[in-house]
Amino acid sequence: MKNKDYRLRDPIDKSAALELSSFSPLVQKLLFYREIRNNQLATDFLRPDYEKHTHNPFLLKDMERAISRILEAVKLQEKILIYSDYDADGIPGGVILREFFDKIGHQNVENYIPHRSAEGFGLNEEAVKRFKDSGVNLIITVDCGTADSAHIDLANRLGIDVIITDHHEPNGHMPNACAIINPKQKDCNYPDKNLCGSGVVYKLVQALASVGHLPFKQGQEKWFLDLVGMATISDMVPLIGENRTLAYYGLRVLRKTPRVGLLKLFRKLYISERNLTEDDVSFTLAPRINAASRMDQPMDAFKLLITKNLSEADAVSNHLNKINDERKGIVANLIKEIRHIVNEKRASVGEKEVIVVGNPKWRPALLGLAANVLVEDFNRPVFLWGRDGGSIKGSCRSEGVSNILSIMNESKDCFSEFGGHEFAGGFSIDNEKVHFLEDRLVEAYKKVGKEETEKIEWVDSHLHPDDANENLWRELRELAPFGVGNSKPLFLMENVPVKSVRQFGKDNNHLEISIPNSSGMEMKAVAFFSKPDSFKMLPEPGGKINLVAHLEKSFFQNRPELRLRIVDIV
């Protein structure tokens, strides 16, 4: 049950409205509250220009050194190992680099994606030793490497050069790599610090394409934007600045993608390529890419994106769908089990400020997904742990008010490793300390707890059912793609009548409410994985509700349908 403070945004002042007078009053308001307050900024935002709004890749620190080393490897036909992270950011980046080398005719190249459970994030000692044995001369990392000083030192001792491409925050000590391309590193003057891992790889390819003497026509790299856009949206980096441009054009290319693996997947999921949106990427494509590593087979996602063989594309897309369904089933059972444990603990010892639950049988790769749901259920920080081999690892989520990283910092003596940001993180812990974890986290919470102000959900505007129409939807889509830093417009429909309420879907686990307008026409309002009692106010036929929702258009099975996506009923 949700528990959020919704507040309606104030009207904008007359001077701002005058400055943005070429746009409708609603778009003026949406732009104003995105800090876009003059006509030129608004035009740039609504109509990204690829040439104007992407930056020179050579502004990235170490780019010249990286290009020089790669050109040397190509000239000498050295073996290059592309080492990418196992998620929907790292895997597309690995495909981009592999396809670039294929296009310039460098065949002595191999991709490696670590096993999520057995090897973990980043480089590892055993893999580096195997690379030496297989004759690797150069490792190029994708979406990892910044925190891997010891393993890069090992590579250096073994005579392997390493080029890091990454976007993660440095941990204070930079590795002794041949080149480090990471906009977040010290003394890097690149204008946009928010690129995702595949975005950084794309800048490397842009730079290589501009060299001139490679058999690769400058501008040809734009066909990689389908993967860059997918990764940028999947990794939830801010969709502003250069990221907005990459996502905007990435979706355009993705709608025309020749990748047979994606096309097969689109058909199976009833996705309309022509009308594909950021939601299709976030909620349909990315989960299947990520399912590969969560279910122990990361190379299957790589094959989906790179294959040109129709039979393989069909088989891999079927397999990813299958393991994603398995993953959903496992997570659903896991959530049910944890809810039962939490409710039993509440009944016996009372409610704690932090929820801490673990089981050595649980797979750590799935715990973040479970924590995302449970933090909504219980409205308090959630820490879950399981076991990978001999290691206890876990994921944690904030309820949106507490700073999860501050809580872990306050109890850092508990952990062997931890990291993340204010609302989400991961950790590993020694066996003997896990029994005291709950007490230490509750103690830490009481010290740093709700150190931020109460979380406010801003509603952009009132909306009458009569105004929820195609014209409004087209107007809103001008601001797309939506994501972090450019959230979907949120509306409040007050005192609207409810015609009908029903559950739908294969397992009847989705909610649909029918709302009539003044002409008697009905619009559907849907909430996935929800029931009427998921909300504070129960929707009932014949009653009236206050609905907080987004306006969206579904193209499922190529049947366009304008509808409301329920956020809350208040």
Question: The tokens of 49 are what?
Answer: 């220009």
Selection from 370, 428, 426 nearest residue 396 by Cα: 426
Cβ contacts of 530 within 8 Å, gap of 6 or more: 510, 511, 566
Residue 148 has pLDDT above 60, yes or no: yes
Question: How far apart (Å, rounded) are the C-alpha atoms in residues 277 and 251?
Answer: 7
Q: Do 137 and 184 reside in the same domain of the chain?
A: yes
Contact 305, 92 (CB under 8 A): yes
Nearest to 263 by CA among 124, 254, 29, 366: 254
Q: Is residue 188 part of a domain?
A: yes
- 82 with 212, same domain? yes
- Number of domains making up the chain: 3
Reduced DSSP (H G I as helix, E B as strand, rest coil) percent helix, strand, coil of the chain, to 5: 45, 20, 35
pLDDT at 455: 67
Residue pair 29/460 in contact by the 8 Å Cβ criterion: yes
Rounded to the nearest 10°, the torsion over CA 263, 269, 274, 278 is -110
Residue 442 within a domain: yes
Residue 128 has pLDDT above 90, yes or no: yes
Question: Do 80 and 176 have their domain in common?
Answer: yes
In the prediction, which pLDDT does 453 show? 42
Phi and psi dihedrals of 247, rounded to 5?
-70, -40
* Cβ-based neighbours of 243, under 8 Å, separated by 6 or more: 192, 194, 195, 196, 199, 232, 237
Q: Beta strands 138-142 and 80-84: pairing type? A: parallel
- For residues 151 and 201, membership in a common domain is answered with yes
Nearest Cα to Cα of residue 441 among 427, 455, 420: 427
Rounding to the nearest 10 degrees, give the CA dihedral for residues 212, 218, 223, 226. 90
Based on the fold, state whether residues 66 and 212 are members of the same structural domain.
yes
Largest Cα separation within the chain, whole Å, is 76
The chain-wide mean pLDDT, for the chain, equals 93
d(C-alpha 342, C-alpha 433), whole Å: 20
> Is pLDDT above 90 for 64?
yes
What CATH number did the domain enclosing 471 receive?
2.40.50.460
User: Do both 127 and 211 map to the same domain?
Assistant: yes
Instruction: Report the pLDDT averaged over residues 310-335.
Output: 95
For 472-530, how does the pLDDT look when each residue is reduced to its tens digit (9 = 90+)?
999 999 999 999 999 999 999 999 999 999 999 888 889 999 999 888 899 999 999 88
pLDDT given for residue 1 in this prediction? 43
CATH of the domain at 198: 3.90.1640.30
Q: Classify residue 334 as exposed, middle or buried by CB count within 10 Å of its CB (0-12, 13-18, 19+).
A: buried
Claim to verify: residue 461 and residue 412 sit in the same structural domain: no
User: 569 phi and psi, to 5 degrees?
Assistant: -125, 120
End-to-end CA distance of the chain: 11
**pTM across the whole model:** 0.91
pLDDT above 70 (res 2):
no
> Which two structure tokens, joined as six digits, stand for 57?
């890749």
Per-residue burial over 506-536, b if 16 or more Cβ lie within 10 Å, else e, is eeeebbbbebebeeeeebbbbbeebebebbe
Phi-psi domain of 459 (left: phi exceeds 0; alpha: psi -120 through 50; beta: other):
beta
Considering the domain architecture, whether residues 106 and 58 belong to the same structural domain is answered as yes
Q: For residue 472, what are the domain limits?
A: 5-9+457-569
Between residues 326 and 212, the one the model is more confident about: 326
Query: What's the confidence (pLDDT) of residue 447?
Result: 87
Looking up tokens 């449970």 gives 374
66 and 215 both lie in a single domain: yes
Pair (59, 117) in one structural domain: yes
Mean pLDDT of 540-556: 94
Q: What is the pLDDT of residue 239?
A: 96
DSSP 496-536: EE--EEEEESTTS-EEEEEEE-TTS-EEEEEETT--GGGSS
Single residue among 226, 250, 278 that ends a domain in this structure:
226
Q: Which two tokens stand for residue 363?
A: 């797979």
pLDDT tens for 214-231 read 899 889 999 999 999 999
pLDDT score recorded for residue 449 = 63
**Among residues 226, 259, 283, which one ends one of the domains?**
226
Angle between helices 225-234 and 241-254 (to 10 degrees): 120
Element (H, E) at 288: helix 286-294
Q: Are residues 67 and 85 in the same domain?
A: yes
pLDDT above 80 for 212:
no
Of 533, 539, 535, 528, which Cα lies nearest the Cα of 563?
Answer: 528
- Given a cut of 70, whether residue 118 has pLDDT beyond it is yes
Mean pLDDT across 561-567: 96
The CATH code of the domain that includes 392 is: 3.10.310.30
- Find all residues with CB under 8 Å of 307, minimum gap 6, and list them: 260, 261, 313, 316
Give strand ranges (E) for 151-208: 161-165, 179-181
Compute CA 363 distance to the chain's CA centroid, rounded to the nearest angstrom: 21
pLDDT digits (tens, 9 = 90+) for 20-37: 999 999 999 999 999 999
Per the CB < 8 A criterion, the answer to whether 462 and 494 are in contact is yes
pLDDT band at 3 (very low <50, low <70, confident <90, very high): low
Q: What percent of the chain has pLDDT over 70?
A: 98
In this structure, is residue 34 part of a structural domain?
A: no
Tokens 């790669």 belong to which residue? 70
* Closest C-alpha to 275, from 555, 566, 557: 555
Alpha carbon 553 to its chain centroid, in Å, reads 21
Q: What pLDDT shows up at residue 450? A: 58
The tens digit of pLDDT for each residue in 174-202 reads: 999 999 999 999 999 999 999 999 999 99
- The 10 Å Cβ neighbour count of residue 173 is 9
The answer to whether residue 313 scores a pLDDT higher than 90 is yes
Q: What is the pLDDT of residue 520?
A: 86
CA atoms within 13 A on the CB side of 476: 21
493 and 443 assigned to the same domain: no
Is residue 220 in some structural domain?
yes
Q: Is the dihedral of CA 314, 315, 317, 318 positive or negative?
A: positive
Return phi, psi of residue 391, to 5°: -105, 140
Q: Which of 448, 475, 490 is the last residue of a domain?
A: 448
